A and B are shown apart, each in its own frame.
Chain A
């Protein structure tokens, strides 16, 4: 009933006057009291605040961008490692590879692991794995031939 009244007033006087009626402003805050005033079958339940507030600076959005930047950096490291191998590239590769893998596996876990505790456990395990991986690669770079040389030696056989 309320819906019919409002639509007809839109048709009659156009949209602009409705802006001055405060009851028609979509309020993003949760107003639990108001839900009782309108029968629920007349109410469309929507996530109204998301498109209004998700700017480009949310944590998730920045993470997404960082993932792409890292991917491009890793792509660039390939040819650089081939043409000028050395300790700087070795450590850069160690960092970039580990982080790219860490974030990648993180997305896989987000897709397939459900339930708050399971998610927390899986992410903790991943963090441990990535830490050990980075430590191992740095150890290899420092105490052994290093990543670039290792690949070259492996391929020479």
Chain B
């Protein structure tokens, strides 16, 4: 029975359409939701103190994997920076221009200023361009592996160019 279902599933037969429902006629619907099942999994495994199976430490890293986690990392970093700025605005006594002048007076060389600008511009550019790539995926396009790599390299290239250009401005 399970074999039959799996074979059909492999061939892309949609089992939820009415005329296929006869195939799992004696199937019993789960009494729990997916969320409950997930919670049960974590509760049981942490209670038994089971170690996590190695995954990212053993699986070969690929460009799409690295780009995905970089998207998450840049997002968290940018969000953190915005929150830090907002909290500073609430807490620090002086005005924005006051603190800018303070930094000016340090007479940091143009190289370091450029580097700092790049440090801000790169996460922003990368997250923006990769975000557009994500929206492209949300339209259902560009999932073929060569396309994933092509759009990925495009994002990396555009990010580098944009950040360097912004750093030089």
Contact = CB atoms under 8 A, between A and B. Distances in A.
Interface stretch (B55-63, B128-136, B144-152, B153-161): B128-136
A66 interface: no
A10 B1 contact: no
A23 B30 contact: no
Contact of B79 (A19, A25, A44, A105): A105
B85 to A, nearest CB: 7
Chain A, interface size category, equals: 35 or more
B89 A26 contact: no
Nearest to A115: B42
Contact of A132 (B2, B75, B86, B138): B86
Contacts of A10: 22
Interface string A1-36: 011001000100001001100011111111110110
A77 B83 CA distance: 19
Contact of B87 (A45, A132, A157): A132
Q: Which secondary structure dominates where chain A touches chain B?
A: helix
B13 interface: no
Contacts of B166: 155
A97 B79 CA distance: 8
Interface residues of B, number: 50
A47 B24 contact: no
B135 A68 contact: yes
A70 B166 CA distance: 25
Contacts of A23: 25
B5 interface: yes
Contacts of A98: 82
B21 interface: yes
Contacts of A68: 135, 138
Given A26-B29, A43-B28, A46-B29, 13 more contacts: A2-B26, A3-B1, A6-B22, A6-B26, A27-B29, A44-B24, A45-B30, A101-B75, A101-B79, A135-B90, A136-B87, A144-B95, A153-B96
Interface of A: 2-3, 6, 10, 15, 18-19, 23-32, 34-35, 38, 42-49, 51-52, 68, 71-72, 75, 78, 97-98, 101, 104-105, 108, 114-116, 129, 132-137, 139-140, 144-145, 150, 153-155, 157
